[in-house]
Amino acid sequence: MVDRITSLCLSDEDDTPGQIDQFFEHGFTFHQFINLRSLYLYDIRSETMMDKVILDLPHLSSLTHLIFGQCYFPLRSNYEKAVSFANCIWSLPKLSYCCIKVDYKYRQTHHFTDRCRRDNGIFIAPTVTSSTLEYLSLIGMKQCDIIMDQLFTHTPYLRRILADNCLNINMNSLSNLLSMTTLNISLLSFQYWDSFFNFLRKMPNLRHLKIEFCSVYSYVNGQRWEQIILNYLPKLERLQFKMLVSLNNDLEEEEEEEEQIDRILDKFRSQFWLVEHHWFVQCDWNLHRECAILYTLPYAFDSFRFYSPIQSKSTSPYDNDLRSYDNVHSLIYKPRLFNMSSSSHIQFFNIQHLSIEFPINAHFLSIIPRFDHLISLDALSNNYDEHCQHQLQDLLDRAPRLSSIRLGWKTLTSSLVQLFASRNWSVYQLELLCYGRSLNRQQCIMISNIIPSIHCKVLNLMIANRTCILEFINTMNHLRALNIRCQNDESSRSAQSTQDELCTWLQQQISSTFSTTKITRRDTIVRMWIH
């Protein structure tokens, strides 16, 4: 049976904690899966477990697609191990696609397990050559530390690379990379313009360039872009970029600030931009921020930060193109001034992940006219009142597909908790926070009472005392996983005996009712898997 399996997913995620441990405990190893072509490894943050996984990878001689999601990878400081990890991947004889990613929901700083999560950076420096790897994606990392010379030398047939937050792009010793047709990269910064020009001119067959500059010091104006493309990228068909532009904060008049924006846009109004290529750009700015954002239209990136109110100007003759932001699936919305509306016509129709601070202003629903694609919501409020709760209720009523909610509220009241129980909602994953404060026994009782009615399967909480966990025992048959951070155990969380003692105590409390519950710990998070 095992030799017939062509695709496999192994996870240590919140709703399946310990799954990969059980895989190995039951005697399975990768060399048994001789026909495996696709492997997805998810949420494996244990260095020990990743060591075991990586060392077992070379047995998968038929593997063509390999994906890591939220997995531990060593940084440059652990150089030998990082090289070893890369070499094991590059040694796979048929691998053509490799993706190492951090999903959107794990990139938000307010998530309660962020303090316990390893830095999600990566260091790539293979010394083994892959003659089959064509597509490499490094998505959502805080930083990608790549030795570009080594990467391209040992991946000679690489056609497409996607890399977020690269630390550098220095390439000195390579000849032209003729196989490269697609480059999708975001740069944290770079020291010299020559290194950027040198990087691009080694790819004369590039047809699609998508690039994000994360520093105001990396701004490239329209004339320089024109020179780069004409001189180095003769086959370029599609250009998509996003850049930060520094603004003069000493200006007192809004009109003078708009003059700065006009001067920026004028560099992109030549015949090269408007007539030959039909490439249009837009500039968004906020009166109380130090920089503007300049990007090509339609907006090509998956995420967008909307600091209301936004002012916008573009070179496009189509001022009200409603589909310009269809690529945006993740939105962070932060209202700043409630008595001002945006002059921008920006609208989002395909939002799947929304992070929002309450209260919101009256213009919010004009920015997101519908929520039929919304599946996850991060709702924050440090100024709790009934108005914020009504706004939250209205948003929830508009989102029929919502399955994951993270609620960070100043006060977790009974009326707020009952908001979930009073509607016919099905919330697969629920995470409740009180702005860094832990939940007391009374609040835990309130939450446990609503679990059956909302069909919650994964519950994440930070509680004041371990005895609060007992309030959820009677609702565990409705849950698949319960993940709890216990405040009164934090002071001694580094001691192994304390970690074992708490998990042992919990197992004793529930063993008579749920004998199959698996209890593990990830740093300070106690994870209970009910199966």
DSSP sequence for 160-212: EEEEEEES-----S----TT--EEEEEES--S-HHHHHHHHHT-TT--EEEEE
Give DSSP secondary structure letters for 356-383: EEES--TTHHHHS---TT--EEEEEESS
Report the CATH number at residue 502.
3.30.110
pLDDT (mean) for 227-250: 89
Evaluated on CA atoms 514, 518, 520, 524, the torsion sign reads negative
Comparing 174-178, 216-220, 297-301, the range with the smallest average pLDDT is 216-220
Look at 119 and 458; give whichever has higher pLDDT.
458
How do residues 63-100 score in pLDDT, each as one tens digit?
999 999 989 999 999 999 999 999 999 999 999 999 99
For residue 116, pLDDT beyond 50: no
Quote the pTM value. Answer: 0.85
Position 475 in a domain = yes
Position 301 in a domain = no
Confidence of residue 133 (pLDDT cuts 50, 70, 90): very high
Residue 202 is encoded by which pair of tokens? 């080694």
Last residue of a domain, one of 111, 144, 167: 167
Number of domains in the chain: 2
pLDDT (mean) for 138-160: 89
Q: What is the mean pLDDT of the chain?
A: 83
Lookup result for tokens 């600030």: 257
Lookup result for tokens 């990830």: 522
Position 218 in a domain = no
Of 370, 392, 371, nearest in space to 381 by CA: 392
pLDDT (mean) for 43-51: 90
pLDDT (mean) for 349-376: 91
Structural domain of 106: 1-167
Of 258, 391, 399, nearest in space to 335 by CA: 391
Last residue of a domain, one of 167, 186, 215: 167
Position 338 in a domain = no
How do residues 293-338 score in pLDDT, each as one tens digit?
999 999 999 999 998 788 899 999 886 676 789 999 999 998 765 5
Position 136 in a domain = yes
Position 84 in a domain = yes
pLDDT (mean) for 461-477: 78
Position 208 in a domain = no
> How many C-beta neighbours within 10 Å does residue 442 have?
12
Of 24, 33, 27, 29, nearest in space to 6 by CA: 33
Report the CATH number at residue 118.
3.80.10
Position 322 in a domain = no
Angle made by CA atoms 294, 298, 302, in degrees to the nearest 5: 80
Task: For the sheet with 525-529, list strands across it.
Answer: 303-308, 330-335, 353-358, 376-381, 404-409, 429-433, 458-463, 481-486, 525-529, 518-522
For residue 24, pLDDT beyond 80: yes
* Residue 44: HSE in the Cβ half-sphere, 13 Å Cα cutoff: 23
Last residue of a domain, one of 140, 167, 194: 167
